[in-house]
């Protein structure tokens, strides 16, 4: 498709600014003082477990929920008092919400008919939107004659045809099977990039958020826990919740103790490791990722400033390029991934080993 054919669909990308938002359903406090800045043209995710408030926040931006306090500013306008149809926001629902008795073409053009557009403009937008999602040849079909992935694309085309300044996607891939999910998420990303449209994607699947989004807000219990790029969140989680939600995490329970002006981490199993001098004494957890530690034989000495735990191997899984060892340290289970290189056999069950972690790859959380 020629680049110029997208002109009918393009708008200037809008910035979204969410400040001090609180939403309650009766006595239930669903969003607690949410603040977020989403940049023009950004592909942004609300990521978190079921019930954390993602959909509530998305519906608030769309105009289907009301807030007790705060503001939602889109492209410089506070939209909280505006009805959904005056917000210039397009939303794609998990269920697609297509009209079953209408053809694909009619589904896409229906929303344009109420707007004061010429027939030529309406047709141009519908044609461009269907081309953009690759469905121009199926315009005469009814939704029941389409696959789930195709229905999802019709829902996208219908939303894009109204030229929103912001695109909101509520778990758009959850009704698709695994291989189609990967394909459609790539298509959504390609479409988002071509239109340069500020987009918010709601998902509970961290892989989905990591692969398509520029930045992610990780949410839990109605609060934004951390905002960052996928790599920032994975490598530098702000707390245990974010660390655990974004991938396999090892935690070792213990306590920060003062040793003169120095601090140590005393693991529940008894081992004592150096800790950053600014840590307050008290219960704590040592956190690190399975691939950020190495295994050494019991007699090997820890190198440089590495932290070192003693552990016993309780199991191993051969994953091809890596071996994932399960270990027990002081009664707790941890996992260490070791690259499988050549034909080395590695460690065996019941071996007592040293687990070495560079201090820069470990965090102390409370």
Ligand X SMILES: Nc1ncnc2c1ncn2[C@@H]1O[C@H](COP(=O)(O)OP(=O)(O)OP(=O)(O)O)[C@@H](O)[C@H]1O
Dihedral of the alpha carbons of 291, 50, 56, 27, in degrees to the nearest 10: -120
Residues 208-267 binding ligand X (CB under 6 A) are: none
Using CA atoms, how far residue 245 sits from 11, 27, 232, 274, in Å, is: 35, 27, 14, 27
Strands 198-203 and 43-47: parallel
Give the C-alpha separation, 127 to 124, whole Å. 5
Would you say 166 and 88 are in contact if contact means Cβ atoms under 8 Å apart? yes
**Does 28 interact with ligand X (rule: CB under 6 A)?**
yes
Residue number, 25 or 99, with CB nearest to ligand X: 25
Element (H, E) at 137: none
Residues 109-128 binding ligand X (CB under 6 A) are: none
Residue from 6, 9, 47, 55 that binds ligand X (CB under 6 A)? 55
At closest approach, how far in Å is the CB of 92 from ligand X? 15
How many of the chain's residues bind ligand X (CB under 6 A)?
Answer: 12
Which single residue is written with the structure tokens 């959904």? 84
Residue number, 93 or 365, with CB nearest to ligand X: 93
Which single residue is written with the structure tokens 């735990």? 309
At closest approach, how far in Å is the CB of 80 from ligand X? 17
Per-residue DSSP letters for 57-90? HHHHHHTSS--SEEEEEETTEE-TTS-GGGTTEE
Residue number, 52 or 154, with CB nearest to ligand X: 52
At closest approach, how far in Å is the CB of 220 from ligand X? 9
**Does 200 interact with ligand X (rule: CB under 6 A)?**
no
**Does 151 interact with ligand X (rule: CB under 6 A)?**
no
At closest approach, how far in Å is the CB of 25 from ligand X? 3
CB under 6 A: which stretch of 45-53, 77-85, 101-109, 347-355 binds ligand X?
A: 45-53
Q: Which residues bind ligand X (CB under 6 A)?
A: 25, 28, 30, 48, 50-56, 204
């Amino acid at each position: 498709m020629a680049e110029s054919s997208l002109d009918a669909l393009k708008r200037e990308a809008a910035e979204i600014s969410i400040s001090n938002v609180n939403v309650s359903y009766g006595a239930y406090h669903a969003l607690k003082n949410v603040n977020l800045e989403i940049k023009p043209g950004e592909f942004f995710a609300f990521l978190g477990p079921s019930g954390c408030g993602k959909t509530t926040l998305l519906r608030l931006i769309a105009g289907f929920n009301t807030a007790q306090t705060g503001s939602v500013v889109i492209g410089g306008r506070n939209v909280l008092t505006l009805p959904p149809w005056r917000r210039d926001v397009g939303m794609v629902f998990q269920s697609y919400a297509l009209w079953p008795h209408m053809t694909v073409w009619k589904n896409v053009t229906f929303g344009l008919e109420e707007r004061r557009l010429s027939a030529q403009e309406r047709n141009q937008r519908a044609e461009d939107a269907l081309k953009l999602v690759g469905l121009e040849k199926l315009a005469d079909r009814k939704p029941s004659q389409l696959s789930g992935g195709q229905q999802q694309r019709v829902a996208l085309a219908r939303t894009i045809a109204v030229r929103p300044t912001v695109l909101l996607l509520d778990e758009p891939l959850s009704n698709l099977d695994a291989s189609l999910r990967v394909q459609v998420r790539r298509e959504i990303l390609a479409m988002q990039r071509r239109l340069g449209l500020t987009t918010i994607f709601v998902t509970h699947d961290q892989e989905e958020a990591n692969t398509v989004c520029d930045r992610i807000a990780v949410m839990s219990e109605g609060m934004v826990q951390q905002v960052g790029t996928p790599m920032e969140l994975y490598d530098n989680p702000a707390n245990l919740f974010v660390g655990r939600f974004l991938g396999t995490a090892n935690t070792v329970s213990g306590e920060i103790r003062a040793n003169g002006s120095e601090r140590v981490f005393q693991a529940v199993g008894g081992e004592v490791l150096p800790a950053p001098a600014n840590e307050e004494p008290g219960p704590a957890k040592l956190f690190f990722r399975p691939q950020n530690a190495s295994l050494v034989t019991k007699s090997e000495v820890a190198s440089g400033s590495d932290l070192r735990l003693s552990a016993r191997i309780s199991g191993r899984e051969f994953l091809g390029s890596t071996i994932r060892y399960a270990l027990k340290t002081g009664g707790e289970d941890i996992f260490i991934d070791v690259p499988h290189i050549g034909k080395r056999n590695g460690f065996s069950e019941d071996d007592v080993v040293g687990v070495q972690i560079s201090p820069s790859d470990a965090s102390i959380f409370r």
